[in-house]
């Protein structure tokens, strides 16, 4: 009797199973809406069919659990009725369709659970692979849920969008390239990355290309791989948990394989991926055809193609701001009276202060919406007086967004410090990489040659906290040459850096950054008491004056101010940054009290070099190691710095140095016994180097570049026995290198690129037994003029030249002795680059 009942139960199960299958097949042919759910259920039944047939034929072996089987039969009967009702519903009964769709999903889970859990152990062993396929397919095809059923649909854009039409087209072009499988959409926080990604997912071309298979998943700062994949697979909290991350990845991969086999194109959008989550991208990067991933991130991940979203241009920024402030079409219901509408110039000033950041424009616009004219005037007045956009409570949303970019891990905190240091330089100005290397090498005791500093700079660039502009394409070693490289920083990010530095009282700040705007002096500077500061970095910018002045001394002592107001005690300052724009400039008196000062960076942003007064005060600074001066006229260096025996590096950019190394009462080598590096760049009045420089035996780096009046180097060059790097790059009238160059036995790098008139090399250049690099691009007069001793450069590893010279080198290398290393020949095309002119003229 038990056997007969079991057979009847199995037969009933088989019949209702077939009826359900026929109903689903018929419904698929009649309707389109939610057909993915029906198709998925049909696929599940396709996998189950062989199990059902075997179960009916082998009732004794199957020994099905009677009560549970009966309940499942009842559910399948109801399911059949629902499917048939579902297929007969008119299209406009949208909510009813959703109701039935959810019921069908429950049926699908019941079927999968029955075959996975309730079948006996022996049958489960025989049919394990098929059962596994049932659940895999159910989970894989869960991705195609739509509307309220869908868990990963692209979020709808409810807000007005401005200025993204061109970026959208550019992003589509990059993403749809055949060779691109993953693309990173990158920009600082608040620039509209997520908005652009949503706009892409809702684009008709993209939806047509990828049909329904576009999945949008927020990742966040602390991602959980299992939760992300659970969402992608359409699982809820009641679904069985993954055994491990690997299990979750495997199930996702199997689901994607099903779609790919159906010739489906797949687009996965991973939104808001943070630095440190690169491992996630590797997990999702399955080697599948017709499968692409778009990542939005504040970080440009090295090795992955990226598209950088720029801030809005002036026109689009104005449109967005006017919309946010309720000023569209010159009128708005939010403004009660026409007299409250701000004039165009006022709006332009506010829009400019937002720097093209959509979030800033929206936040500030909403904060002024419907406000009185006084509120508008107050905002402009505050910004004109140097108040930051980040200093007001109404902008907390913007501040929170930007600050989140600075939440570095413990071992990355130096990046946060380096970012804040960038606030030391004026807005809208390029920041020279070489100056940053000087700062960071002394502030944080980084490794020599600037390698660590440059690595940090590249990290900040990848995080979109700065924009690194590398102007030289033929540099071979990191940190070996970056005189013309510079950094740009967005004004809002600079304000963020300054804001982060100013969270403590003046006397406790480790970085004190002062922007003296007009004659609005800090109140504490005008007080009679002495002000002690514990800063390691002190930056003073006096660029924007509202009244004309003739000397910077006026800010420290003259008839307009009390001479005692500037009583600063800065005993712990290691780096002093002075930014100015005036006809004359005088170093402040407190410089001589800076006993710990190691780096001085003084930059004139005016059009012409200015006199630098009080320069002799530096002679009283015992720890000074590095001096960087830009666009100043120098007095005698050796006379002034005779007591600065610790000085190791001097960098002069666009300076007048005609008398800098003359009129010395003592020998330069005696005044600067520890000098290791001299950098002279774009110093147009440098005609000849004084012979005394070549007595500085400690010198290791001598870089003289873009000095277009320098015609010769003294024969004393050969005295620099410890010299490792010699660059006389782009000195266009230099005729030759002295024969004594062959005596530089420790020389590693020789760079004469751009020296158009050098027609011959020293006869005994082969004596440079340790030379590894020879840069000679653009030496047009040197063709066919390489001396025979060139064959003796046994350690030469790299030659950088143009095409004509490369052929000659290739023939020479063939004749090199067998025990010599064969150097790499690197051909560099002529690069006419005027980026260095940025903000100079």
Cα angle value 595/601/603 (rounded, 5°): 140
CA-wise closest residue to 422 among 431, 414, 411: 431
Helix axes 165-175, 193-201, angle to 10 degrees: 70
- Cβ contact 359:190 at 8 Å: yes
DSSP 8-state symbol, 311: P
The verdict on 344 and 446 lying in the same domain is no
Q: Could you give phi then psi for residue 524, rounded to 5 degrees?
A: -70, -20
Instruction: Give the Cα separation of 503 and 498 in Å (integer).
Output: 9
CA-wise closest residue to 182 among 86, 292, 266: 292
DSSP-derived pairing of the beta strands 431-432 and 486-488 = antiparallel
CATH of the domain at 457: 1.10.10
How far are the Cα atoms of 232, 285, 306 from residue 142, in angstroms, in the given order?
A: 8, 20, 30
DSSP-derived pairing of the beta strands 486-488 and 467-469 = antiparallel
Q: Does any domain span residue 633? A: no
CATH of the domain at 289: 3.40.50.300
Q: Does any domain span residue 367? A: yes
- Cβ contact 104:83 at 8 Å: yes
pLDDT mean for each 10 residues of the chain (841 residues): 53 76 72 60 69 54 57 77 73 59 71 57 41 45 38 83 94 94 94 94 91 87 87 70 86 88 90 89 91 94 93 94 79 46 84 90 88 84 77 73 87 92 90 92 80 89 90 56 80 91 88 78 68 89 48 36 56 93 83 92 90 84 92 75 78 83 67 89 87 88 93 91 95 93 95 93 93 92 84 91 89 84 83 48 35
Q: Which two tokens stand for residue 132?
A: 């596994």
> Of 400, 422, 447, which residue sits at a domain end?
400
Residue appearing with tokens 């008139």? 757
Instruction: Give the Cα separation of 43 and 35 in Å (integer).
Output: 12
The verdict on 326 and 249 lying in the same domain is no
- Enumerate the β-bridge partners of residue 542: 580
Instruction: Give the Cα separation of 587 and 584 in Å (integer).
Output: 10
Q: Which two tokens stand for residue 594?
A: 């800076």
pLDDT for 187: 94
pLDDT for 269: 95
Helix (H, G, I), strand (E, B) or coil at 170: helix
The verdict on 277 and 363 lying in the same domain is no
The verdict on 338 and 248 lying in the same domain is no
Q: Does any domain span residue 514? A: no
Q: Does any domain span residue 612? A: no
Residue 270's Cα: distance from chain center in Å?
A: 18
Q: How many CA atoms lie within 13 A of 210 on its CB side?
A: 27
Instruction: Give the Cα separation of 554 and 574 in Å (integer).
Output: 25
CA-wise closest residue to 510 among 543, 539, 489, 487: 539
Helix (H, G, I), strand (E, B) or coil at 329: helix
The verdict on 239 and 334 lying in the same domain is no
Q: Does any domain span residue 24? A: yes
Instruction: Give the Cα separation of 662 and 691 in Å (integer).
Output: 10
Instruction: Give the Cα separation of 166 and 442 in Å (integer).
Output: 44
The verdict on 231 and 347 lying in the same domain is no
Q: Does any domain span residue 790? A: yes
Residue appearing with tokens 């390029």? 430
**How many secondary structure helices (H) and strands (E) does the chain include?**
25, 26
The verdict on 703 and 840 lying in the same domain is yes
Residue 547's Cα: distance from chain center in Å?
A: 39
> Of 348, 374, 400, which residue sits at a domain end?
400
- Cβ contact 630:603 at 8 Å: yes
CA-wise closest residue to 589 among 627, 609, 615, 624: 615
- Cβ contact 754:729 at 8 Å: yes
- Cβ contact 525:564 at 8 Å: no
How far are the Cα atoms of 310, 357, 619 from residue 670, in angstroms, in the given order?
A: 52, 54, 14
Instruction: Give the Cα separation of 423 and 433 in Å (integer).
Output: 14
Hey, CA dihedral for 68, 70, 72, 75, is it positive or negative? negative
CA-wise closest residue to 201 among 129, 297, 292, 128: 292
Cα angle value 30/33/37 (rounded, 5°): 95
- Cβ contact 838:486 at 8 Å: yes
pLDDT for 656: 87
Q: Could you give phi then psi for residue 273, rounded to 5 degrees?
A: -90, 125
Cα angle value 323/405/380 (rounded, 5°): 40
pLDDT for 278: 84
pLDDT for 533: 85
DSSP 8-state symbol, 205: H
Q: What DSSP string describes 333-372?
A: TT-SSGGGSPPHHHHHHHHHHTTT-HHHHHHHHHHHTT--
- Cβ contact 320:312 at 8 Å: yes
Q: Which two tokens stand for residue 332?
A: 């708005």
- Cβ contact 181:291 at 8 Å: yes
The verdict on 195 and 331 lying in the same domain is no
Burial class (CB in 10 A: 0-12, 13-18, 19+), 345: exposed
| Number of separate domains in the chain | 5
- Cβ contact 786:762 at 8 Å: no
Q: Does any domain span residue 359? A: yes
The verdict on 703 and 839 lying in the same domain is yes
The verdict on 395 and 415 lying in the same domain is no
Helix (H, G, I), strand (E, B) or coil at 520: strand
The verdict on 414 and 326 lying in the same domain is no
> Of 336, 370, 400, which residue sits at a domain end?
400
Q: Does any domain span residue 670? A: no
- Cβ contact 385:517 at 8 Å: yes
The verdict on 323 and 299 lying in the same domain is no
Q: What residue numbers bound the domain in which 719 lies?
A: 693-841
Helix (H, G, I), strand (E, B) or coil at 659: coil
Q: Which two tokens stand for residue 822?
A: 């064969």
Q: What DSSP string describes 218-255?
A: EEESS--HHHHHHHHTT--TTSPPPSSHHHHHHHHHHH
Instruction: Give the Cα separation of 782 and 778 in Å (integer).
Output: 9
- Cβ contact 417:465 at 8 Å: no
Hey, CA dihedral for 176, 177, 180, 184, is it positive or negative? negative
* Residues making up the chain, counted from first to last: 841
């Amino acid at each position: 009797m038990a056997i007969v009942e079991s057979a009847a139960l199995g037969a009933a199960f088989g019949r209702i199973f077939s009826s359900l299958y026929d109903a689903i097949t018929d419904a698929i042919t009649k309707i389109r809406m939610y057909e993915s759910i029906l198709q998925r259920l049909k696929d599940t039944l396709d996998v189950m069919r062989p199990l059902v047939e075997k179960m009916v034929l082998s009732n004794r072996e199957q020994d099905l659990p009677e009560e549970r089987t009966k309940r499942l039969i009842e559910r399948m009967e109801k399911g059949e009725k629902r499917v048939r009702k579902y297929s007969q519903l008119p299209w406009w009964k949208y909510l009813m369709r959703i109701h039935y769709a959810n019921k069908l999903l429950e049926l699908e889970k019941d079927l999968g659970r029955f075959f996975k859990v309730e079948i006996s152990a022996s049958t489960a062993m025989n049919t394990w692979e098929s059962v596994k396929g049932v659940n895999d397919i159910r989970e894989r095809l869960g991705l195609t849920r739509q509307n309220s059923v869908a868990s990963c649909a692209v979020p709808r854009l409810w807000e007005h969008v401005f200025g993204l039409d061109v970026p959208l087209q550019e992003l589509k072009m990059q993403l749809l390239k055949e060779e691109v499988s993953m693309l990173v959409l990158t920009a600082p926080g608040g620039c509209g990355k997520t908005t652009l990604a949503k706009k892409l997912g809702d684009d008709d071309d993209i939806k047509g290309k990828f049909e329904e298979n576009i999945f949008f998943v927020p990742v966040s700062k602390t991602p959980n791989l299992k939760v992300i994949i659970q969402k992608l697979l359409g699982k809820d909290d009641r679904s069985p948990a993954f055994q491990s991350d690997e299990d979750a990845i495997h199930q996702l991969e199997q689901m994607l394989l099903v779609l790919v086999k159906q010739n489906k194109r797949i687009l996965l959008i991973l939104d808001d991926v943070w630095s440190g989550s690169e491992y996630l991208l590797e997990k999702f990067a399955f080697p599948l055809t017709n499968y692409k991933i778009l990542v939005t991130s504040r970080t440009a991940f090295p090795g992955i193609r990226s598209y950088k979203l720029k801030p809005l241009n002036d026109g689009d920024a104005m449109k967005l701001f006017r919309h946010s402030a309720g000023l569209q079409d010159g009128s708005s219901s939010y403004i009660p009276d026409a007299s409250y509408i701000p004039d165009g110039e006022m709006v332009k000033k506010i829009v400019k202060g937002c720097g093209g950041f959509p979030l800033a424009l929206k936040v500030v616009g909403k904060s002024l919406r419907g406000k009185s004219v006084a509120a508008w005037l107050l905002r402009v007045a505050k910004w004109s007086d140097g108040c930051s956009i980040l200093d007001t409570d109404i902008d907390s949303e913007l501040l929170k967004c930007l600050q989140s970019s600075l939440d570095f891990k413990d071992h990355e905190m130096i990046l946060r410090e380096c970012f804040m240091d960038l606030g030391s330089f004026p807005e809208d100005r390029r920041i020279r990489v070489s100056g940053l290397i000087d700062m960071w090498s002394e502030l944080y005791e980084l490794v020599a040659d600037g390698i660590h500093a440059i690595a940090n700079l590249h990290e900040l660039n990848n995080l979109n906290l700065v924009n690194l502009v590398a102007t030289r394409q033929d540099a071979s070693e990191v940190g070996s040459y970056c005189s013309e490289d510079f950094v740009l920083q967005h004004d809002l990010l600079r304000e963020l850096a300054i804001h982060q530095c100013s969270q403590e009282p003046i006397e406790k700040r480790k970085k004190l950054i002062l922007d003296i705007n007009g004659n609005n002096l800090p109140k504490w500077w005008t007080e009679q008491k002495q002000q002690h500061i514990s800063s390691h970095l002190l930056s003073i910018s006096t660029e924007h004056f509202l009244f004309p002045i003739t000397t910077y001394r006026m800010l420290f002592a003259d008839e307009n101010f009390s001479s005692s107001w500037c009583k600063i005690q800065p005993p712990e300052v290691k780096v002093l940054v002075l930014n100015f724009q005036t006809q004359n400039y005088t170093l402040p008196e407190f410089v001589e009290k800076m006993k710990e000062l190691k780096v001085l960076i003084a930059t004139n942003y005016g059009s012409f070099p200015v006199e630098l007064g009080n320069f002799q005060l530096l002679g009283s600074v015992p720890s000074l190691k590095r001096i960087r001066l830009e666009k100043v006229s120098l007095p005698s260096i050796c006379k002034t710095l005779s007591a600065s025996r610790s000085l190791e590096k001097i960098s002069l950019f666009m300076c007048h140095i005609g008398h800098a190394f003359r009129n010395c009462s003592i020998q330069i080598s005696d005044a600067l016994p520890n000098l290791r590096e001299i950098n002279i760049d774009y110093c147009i009045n440098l005609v000849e180097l004084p012979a005394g420089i070549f007595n500085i035996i400690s010198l290791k780096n001598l870089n003289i570049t873009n000095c277009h009046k320098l015609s010769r180097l003294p024969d004393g060059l050969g005295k620099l026995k410890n010299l490792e790097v010699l660059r006389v790059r782009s000195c266009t009238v230099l005729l030759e290198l002295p024969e004594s160059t062959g005596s530089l036995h420790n020389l590693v790098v020789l760079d004469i690129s751009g020296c158009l008139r050098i027609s011959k090399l020293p006869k005994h250049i082969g004596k440079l037994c340790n030379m590894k690099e020879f840069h000679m691009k653009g030496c047009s007069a040197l063709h066919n003029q390489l001396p025979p001793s060139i064959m003796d450069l046994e350690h030469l590893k790299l030659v950088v030249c143009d095409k004509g010279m490369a052929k000659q080198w290739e023939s020479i290398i063939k004749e090199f002795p067998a025990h010599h290393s064969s150097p790499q020949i690197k051909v560099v095309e002529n690069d006419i680059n005027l980026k260095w002119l940025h903000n100079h003229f």
